[in-house]
Chain A
């Protein structure tokens, strides 16, 4: 999309927060690690970081080495306020991945509470947590970026998705126009900051003077989400549907009367789970949302209704609903021709990014009817009520715990380590995807999981490893994936 006709710069992400610091300075803004921080407290911490930032020639992208701390959240606000684009560097990720992100986004500056655990080329701002020196925040530079995240790529190279201020403003416009979030709301924040829905959990809350409740990492994070909703009377929750699968057998014992809005996104929402969740969250409106990172968090939603959701669900999966106001879609068939009924879902509109960082992988973007479209790789169709329904993936991507995972990336990494032929398949066990790696050759003694952990995040490391002298082939000479899958059913896989 052309930005040339835009005169006024799009508002920075933190603008709502700054306004609410003036209106509601004593309201709670953040609950993290067992402690509350008011808007004033969080502003003070952001301005302390801002004062340190001011001493540098501010670049367009600034890395934040994240951990579960108020200072990480303050850093996000400070970076946004200075007009730059924040790049979360999740300290739980393997060093190799963080280094790749630093290189890909050519980071020259990283903010961190403690010194980054490994060497890198960027300068570091170690937050001075003891100082009182602060600077009133004003925009220093005005780059177009809001935040930059990386998604899994087929070649083993992560793809940088830079969300512009215009993309983000269009996304938040949808919520401003359609929801009555207010200063009394309590938003759940169960996501890693490298997961884009975290941007919703933080800024949708701060835009309306509400409080963000960060789910503790310690113990079992998904289960902690449920406890937190109950203990803190959360009013707005956003969750990956996988959480419901984990707690399915307890769902009928739960009651969350405080919940007003319950959003799901990141994976398939199964109808039978939505029915149970609806009973537990009896006062909540339940929305199933959909959208790849490239279309800014989510760009469609479906208001779940117990009267109609059952007949509208396809393969027991709740519909994706209709696109947001600033968004539109077309379907492409296998010959790349448009199709009015079903096909690969392609989006156009203000929430679609221009391109990947460095204009890589541009095949996923195309122009049609003088508009720029993004190919999602998801196959969808329209039902009679005009709602989009999900029918499957076009390629080898799968969802693991809500993360988009490219199986080819895992295969490439294993191949590099073992120098052996490998096929990775995701097979659902009780509706949760488990990763199986099939390796052609004799079993090796090395600890593959340990080696993979240097290059891949935990959720991308296969659960099972099966060595075989030769892969089964079909009549076309291709690897017979069905036969491989049957091997797993025969219980021959080793871990």
Chain B
């Protein structure tokens, strides 16, 4: 569990800065988990430009299609 919070609800457009605990470390943990689960690889540029869940979903979908 990346965010260590079972009650956390994240909406697609919630900015990273607005979510408790979504810092650089959590972000990199999230990236690693996504790469492992979806068997994809992100570039650093992609990683740094993810500002919310929506951005991540879009890039993951593109890589999977």
Question: Do the two chains bind?
Answer: yes
**Residues in chain A within 8 A of chain B (CB atoms):** 217-224, 226-227, 243, 246-247, 250, 253-254, 401, 432, 449, 458, 463-464, 495
The smallest beta-carbon distance between B1 and chain A, in angstroms, is 7
CB <8 Å contact, A220 and B44: no
A223 touches B24 (CB 8 A): yes
CB distance from B42 to the nearest CB of A (A): 9
Query: B4 and A463: CB pair below 8 A?
Result: yes
Known: A222-B24, A432-B25, A495-B1. A253 touches B17 (CB 8 A): no
Please measure, in the bound complex, the distance between the C-alpha atom of A353 and the C-alpha atom of B44, giving whole angstroms.
42
With A219-B51, A246-B25, A253-B44 as known contacts, state yes or no: A495 contacts B16, CB within 8 Å: no
Query: What is the minimal beta-carbon distance from B64 to any residue of chain A, in angstroms?
Result: 21
A218, A246, A463: the one contacting B24 at CB < 8 Å is: A246
- Find chain B residues with CB under 8 A from A247 CB: 28, 44
A436 CB to nearest B CB, Å = 11
Which partner residue on chain A sits nearest B8 by CB separation?
Answer: A495
Chain B positions 1-49 with a Cβ under 8 Å from a chain A Cβ:
1, 4-6, 16-17, 20-21, 23-25, 27-28, 43-44, 47-48
User: CA A222 – CA B29 in complex, angstroms?
Assistant: 14
Residues of A within 8 A of B1 (CB): 495
Residues of B within 8 Å of A449, CB to CB, are 5, 20
A219 touches B44 (CB 8 A): no
Which residues does chain B contribute within 8 Å of A218, judged by CB atoms? 17
- A86–B1 Cα gap in the complex (Å)? 42
Q: Which A residues touch B4, using CB under 8 A?
A: 463-464, 495
Q: What would 14 more interface pairs be, CB under 8 Å, given A221-B23, A222-B24, A226-B44?
A: A220-B24, A222-B25, A223-B47, A227-B48, A243-B24, A246-B28, A247-B44, A254-B44, A401-B25, A449-B5, A449-B20, A495-B1, A495-B5, A495-B6
Residues of A within 8 A of B44 (CB): 226, 247, 250, 253-254
A219, B25: Cβ atoms closer than 8 Å:
no
Asked whether A221 and B24 contact (CB < 8 A) given A247-B44, A253-B44, A495-B1, the answer is yes
Do B16 and A220 touch across chains, with their CB atoms under 8 A apart? yes
Query: A223 contacts which of B6, B17, B43, B48 (Cβ < 8 Å)?
Result: B48
Q: Is the CB of B20 within 8 A of A220?
A: no
A217 to B23, CA, bound (A): 10
Q: How far is the CA of A495 from the CA of B26 in the complex (A)?
A: 14
Q: How far is the CA of A246 from the CA of B25 in the complex (A)?
A: 6
Closest 6 CB pairs of A and B: A495-B4, A222-B24, A220-B24, A250-B44, A246-B28, A223-B48
